[in-house]
Structure 1
């Protein structure tokens, strides 16, 4: 007999495990968190907790009964009763199963009826809806029983401003960006609607409080956005857009203040983030790039776009200071201050990044402000332009600035402020020689022989030389050094443009206020002029000194220009500077400790060129006359000017032993009397006088002046009595003038306080008066004086 095959019986536990495994493979299994399923018994009966050690592979865990053992019995009974009676709203959703078979032998305690009633009443009244909220205070226990205390308070309505305040973190706490927004902050547009209702009357305090609230919100937004950009500019580059939107704040209470804050914040961000090179992108269509390269290009494009928008907004704000013709709008002081701030931001950007993109546009915007009606705007722009010209290493930005200045002076017909040409004095063109191009051409022409002219290059050789030139050009670009040749070409163009401006001023506007700064520029850069122009320039200076009504400063500049030319390449010219000696000798006495004390620097440079550099071409009588005039000038200057004059006299005495005659007090030897009033140094008989000024300067208030005067009177000894310390002996007159400048109201070294001299009077006992009344009167006077000063 064959047995029938029946279905295999499977237990419920195995079937449930199979179902669970199937759902887990399909990913449909729902995991229960914070709950551990207890295995059901195969046969009926109570579920007992597993004991340690029953299964070796089973992990130990905390179970409910273990926790219940640690809870007090009274607390367990209280919670059971609270859940069953639903006295706490918090426990309404908790289901309680009263297991009577558990804890039968436990001790039970009946709850206090009074306490239960208080708690039930509190829960019921707390859930009742209403406008008024009942606040329960601590109950008081008295002899009569427990007294409950309550206070009714109205519910506060939720305002928009309160929600805004909740979103603003406390000061000093870090702001954690939301994970979904990737740390970017979007401009809160609801701030635009925070303006007060014009139909509701408010007082001044409310207006100020409302403005402070709005301003605080904007400050917080600007600070978080700016700090985010500085921390991670590549990932938070979109913050630029929000900051630029904040610059266009429309709320009238905080419009100008918020715009200023946004301008300054963006200025500091751009100063830190902008690179030192220009950003240039080429279209790479169809070219696959690395992920990092693509991210860098996108970041640079976004940065350049934001920088351009920022400059456009600043330019729009600067139009407040320079309104267009026909615009009759009157701007307030706050708007003018905003315009000045925008000019300052442009200046700082040009100084910080003169080689970045749009630097030429910055120069074009700022040059017209050198001729602005506000003096503080002119000074600020002039300082920025001077800094750029001093630190320029390529010459490109200098050339752009000089061309803009040339166009401005020409378009205004030389009717501009002094600051327009004053910035040109900061140019670094001392090493430029305009004759170099001509000399190089002559050299090339000279070394070309007849044989080289006959030789011609073949087509292959020309192609080869062309490739070599391109290769050299590429090698220059790959080097991390500046191209010396291109820099020299730029500086040559700068020099030509500068002298074009100066010569046009001398020819067309010799009586304008630009003459002084023009002459100063010619004196500083005269050595760069072509040699063929030297003679004409000297004649122009002589004509101006004789015929034009020049001031003392302008005359000193003319003389300085001439002697600068003659001390350099113009030394080969056959020019007699006799008349210029007379102009310098006459104008020295016009310098004093007052307003003209600043002209002493011009006189020092000119005297150095006349008495030191050209000492072999000056006669002995002129040298004595100028030495005497300089020592006389030292009596009417501040101590820094006096020190520079004495240093110059010391140098003359060291280099020319014939000047020692001025230290001799014997006046019998000579050609006559000294005439200090004569304007010709040749005929004043300076050799018949002495440097008596040094005796007066030995009692000067400044100790360093006294040392120099004593050093000269001892005939400038190198060592021994009357010698100078090495740190003073090595300094030039110009360095002494700068180091001891008293404009900061401080002496270097400090002058000691003079000692108080107490007058010693005669004892009255030795004075015998014939008249007794007179003696009594004098005694009373002496007593009164001693009482007053004691």
Structure 2
């Protein structure tokens, strides 16, 4: 441009005369025509200035300085002062639609040169639609919702003032953010979670606050759903979505903070459960090694997946650390923090169950196990359930071993003052095939092999090569037969059993009066078949000392604990401890004594332990039980059948039937005549050998014939007829094959269901109902009978049980006479 201006000045100097420019000349002509009122022709001529230059001539663009025209000043002089002030105020306020396009400031938008054609009909329609609202002057205002059975019911009311919705109160910055979000493509999902400035919400009503919260929450839900579904559809391409989901776990908006954190945490959990493999991912740094493009992409995906998984676990750990009590800290967590911690614990436990052997599984175990001893019951319950599920589903035994090792350290650290859930989970271990005695045999074989290996050192090179080849072949054979995995599994189970009995024996030795002793004894009773024979003598003596107790110190065990001790001892003696010379006489008396303490109340839950003990003592060890003990236990089980519910009564009748089938001499209890003149039965005696049970009878079965449950009545009649296998009085095949434990659990009334269903009683007519006089007569007759019975009991020095036995004998004789 400068070059162009310099050339023009040089030309003017050479010409010598002052030459007027074309622009100035045109302005002068235009001003004259404007004064004369002939400016139309000038306008038409002005169009010629904008004609395009011919293609042959070069186009030269330069800035032309136009002089200000004077035709506007004449117009201003013609307008009056009042009208001029009115126009100036209208322009400033932009009161007219035509004046809105006038540029007042430099920042305003430039005026468009082209006029946009507008459809007048559309504008008129819009104006007509807005007319009813203007004329009516009534608008709808939202009110507080009402809570009903079906949920929240929204209400509205007519008002004269129209309130702007929340969506119209959005600032210009928020509008720009919305526009940028709409323009972003779905494939890229470039979502930016920016921290918004705090707004003043004090002016908003309660309804507006609720609506605002719902709007924000729906946006977050939609975002979480889109991100999660994208990850599930194509994890490799949408792996960046984890970043935004993890950011939502740190939501800072107080309106939706708790809900969004929960939703984000659970959504990430479901995504990980779906896309994580069942094996560990190992990342190798391949420096200087050329790899395929697909391999590099896969390695990058796995690395990113592991980093996001690690970040997720760290955030869960941060949520849980809030409810962990620290020394010297008086901080009490809020309810929201406790709820978040419960959600975090559930997520960790589900990851431990579903992905037991994925990366960081040891870290998860180390984090979860201490919460078995937490003060909050929901946390303990969640952990215990997850650990039990892991024990049941574990096929390799590695995670089971790690959990038991951590429990051992926890019990030792807390000095055995732990919650019951810590030891309760150990009862779910699967240790049926473990035999610690076999391990010693393997150790002896290993020693012999080592001696043999030392001999190989003196062999020649050819013989050494041959032995190495043989070892390699044996290893390959084991791999083909899957023997190597079995050996590693058995090794893990053996180590688990060692830690388990370390926990139990340490509690018996150092804390015999702790609250976890009952679970310790129950665990010993369940896993007694896995104990080494070397510990049998010491264990039996310790259990006997616990059962006797020191009454001065008040250290006696409860009935359930004593039953577990008996079960442990007889499990040992009926299994690998058959060759041990131990007299279990005192344990017979302990079991016989505790049978009377089981009833239909709180102690009814101890009946399964009693049934397993009786099965071990009377049926499995039938050859080592004397006849007097068999008779005494059969009679005591008959008494027990009257103290329990119908499912317990059926289990007791099943044991009586088994005793009748094992030893025919037990039939004496069904014959009342054989007990006459043989002595007196002492039911209160604790020694089954000397209670003289042969001189009693099973009169309890007569009461069970009139039981409220039809199956119990059928079973009692079956026993009275001698328990026939076929014919009249025989039981159905399904009922006769069931064990006592199966009968107890199958007919359990805790679910408020009777099996079979009890029929409804028949409606009695008013004529068949007894009158008041008949009721009074029966009451008087009962009182007279009771008085006579007392007189007879005073004259004859016999026990009440023998008295009922005497009545039972007379009834038997009467039935025989009727038959003849």
TM-score of the pair, normalised by structure 2: 0.70
**Equivalences for residues 336-351 of structure 1 within 5 A:** 336-351=338-353
Which of 650, 654, 661 matches 2:668? 661
For the pair 1:232 / 2:224, whether they are aligned, the reply is no
**1:371 corresponds to which of 373, 378, 384:** 373
**1:753, 1:651 → 2: CA distance?**
34
Partner residue in 2 for 1:196: 199
Equivalent position of 1:500 in the other structure? 502
Instruction: Please give the alpha-carbon distance, in whole angstroms, between the structure 1 residues aligned to 2:641 and 2:541.
Output: 32
How does 1:365-764 map onto structure 2 within 5 Å? Answer: 365-442=367-444, 456-462=458-464, 465-466=467-468, 469=471, 483-547=485-549, 548-669=555-676, 671-760=678-767
Structure-2 residue corresponding to 1:219: 221
In the alignment, what sits opposite 1:299? 301
Give SS of 1:326's match. Answer: coil
Q: Is the 8 A contact 2:353 2:386 kept in 1?
A: yes
Decide whether the 8 Å contact of 1:640 with 1:738 is kept in 2. Answer: yes
Query: Secondary structure of the equivalent of 2:522?
Result: helix
Cα 1:602/1:757, change in 2 over 3 Å:
same
Q: 1:478, CA displacement in angstroms? A: 8.4
Which of 185, 188, 196 lines up with 2:189 in the alignment?
185
Does structure 2 retain, via aligned residues, the 8 Å contact 1:646–1:709? yes
Preserved CA contact (<8 Å) 2:563 2:609: yes
**Aligned to 1:383, what secondary structure does the other structure show?**
helix
CA RMSD of aligned residues (A): 3.6
Residues 755 and 181 of structure 1: is their aligned pair in 2 closer, same or farther, counting only changes over 3 Å? Answer: same
Deviations 1:311-348 (A, max 9, x none): 11001001122143333333221211111111111111
1:316–1:464 Cα change, 3 Å = farther
| 2:127 corresponds to 1:135 | yes
* Distance of 1:266 and 1:421 partners within structure 2: 32
Q: 1:269 to 1:477 in 2, by over 3 A?
A: farther
**1:435 alignment partner, SS class:** helix
Shift of 1:300: 2.0
1:244 Cα shift?
0.4
Aligned residue pairs total 626
Write the deviation string for residues 736-756 of structure 1: whole angstroms up to 9, x where unpaired: 111112222212222222222
Q: Distance in 1 between matches of 2:281 and 2:476?
A: 19
- Deviation of the 1:137 alpha carbon: 5.8
1:233-256 Cα shifts (integer Å, max 9, x gaps): 121111111100000001111111
Q: Which residue of 2 aligns with 1:271?
A: 273
**Is the Cα–Cα contact under 8 Å of residues 350 and 359 in structure 1 kept in the other structure?**
yes
User: Hey, what's the Cα distance between the residues in 2 that align with 1:462 and 1:447?
Assistant: 15
1:361 alignment partner, SS class:
helix
Which is helix-richer, 1 or 2? 2
Measured in 2, the distance between the counterparts of 1:644 and 1:581 equals 20
Taking structure 1 as the reference length, the TM-score comes to 0.73
Contact 1:134–1:150 under 8 Å retained in 2: no
Could you tell me how far apart the structure 2 residues matched to 1:672 and 1:502 are? 47
Cα pair 2:323 2:333 within 8 Å, conserved: no
In the TM superposition, residue 167 of structure 1 has moved relative to its aligned partner by 11
Inter-partner Cα distance in structure 1 for 2:572 and 2:698: 32
Residues 564 and 716 of structure 1: CA distance in aligned 2, closer, same or farther (over 3 Å)? same
CA shift at 1:476, angstroms?
6.4
TM-fit CA distance, 1:437: 2.1
Q: Measure the CA separation in 2 of the matches of 1:495 and 1:370.
A: 20
Cα separation, 1, equivalents of 2:259 and 2:452: 77
Structure 1 range deviating more: 668-677 or 217-226 = 668-677
Partners of 1:193 and 1:637 in 2: CA distance? 68
Which residue number corresponds to residue 324 of structure 1? 326
Structure 1 position 613, deviation (Å): 0.5
Equivalent-residue separation in structure 2 for 1:225 and 1:682 (angstroms): 76
How far is 1:512 from its partner? 0.5
Q: What residue number does 2:285 align with? A: 283
Matched position secondary structure for 2:673: coil
Cα offset for 1:453?
A: 5.9
User: Aligned residue for 2:246?
Assistant: 244
Where do 1:41-52 residues align within 5 Å?
Answer: none
Structure 2 residue runs of 5 or longer lacking an equivalent are: 1-113, 140-161, 550-554, 775-820
